Amino acid sequence: PTSTPTRRRRSRPSASCRGLKNMELLTEARELIESGALGHLVTLNAAGSPQVSCVWVGVDDGQLVSGHLSARQQKLRNVRRDPRVTLSFEGTSIHPPGLKEYLVVHGTARIEPGGAPELLQRLARVYLGPDVKFPPMDDPPPGFVIRTTPERLGGVGPWAG
């Protein structure tokens, strides 16, 4: 028996995704990110499987930023090899027909050396409280900052329209 060749469909962005080429992050998306919602950072392992980490995320000049003190983290190795990342955030609002709001940001990441302690201190005020010292050590290592340029938004909420 002969097999019929399989046709591949061209993928198109769904109606629930909004492209961001040369656009700023939407106000509502920025507000959710800056509200203290944990980010779920998805990077790709060498074999293509996903690697997920919960991270604190801020917004700086239209990019999403997260701080990392150790160079040995798998997420950093993954981003160095393949800069495609996805971050997701869970909101608190309920949208019809009863779905909880969430934001998915697809983008390209780059790693900058240094700046992690300062960024983590700034984010600690959002995630832990205004008077906290973070990292909780004297003379923390300079670490790394992952800067993600958003390219496409998805999820459930005003950014999905």
- pLDDT tens digits for 35-72? 999 999 999 999 999 999 999 999 999 999 999 999 99
pLDDT for 97 equals: 87
| pLDDT beyond 90 at 16 | no
| pLDDT beyond 90 at 19 | no
pLDDT for 34 equals: 96
d(C-alpha 59, C-alpha 30), whole Å: 7
Query: In the chain, which residue ranges form alpha helices assigned H by DSSP?
Result: 27-33, 74-81, 116-127
Which residue from 126, 98, 103, 95 is spatially nearest to 27, judged by alpha carbons? 103
As a whole number, mean pLDDT of residues 75-95 equals 97
d(C-alpha 132, C-alpha 125), whole Å: 7
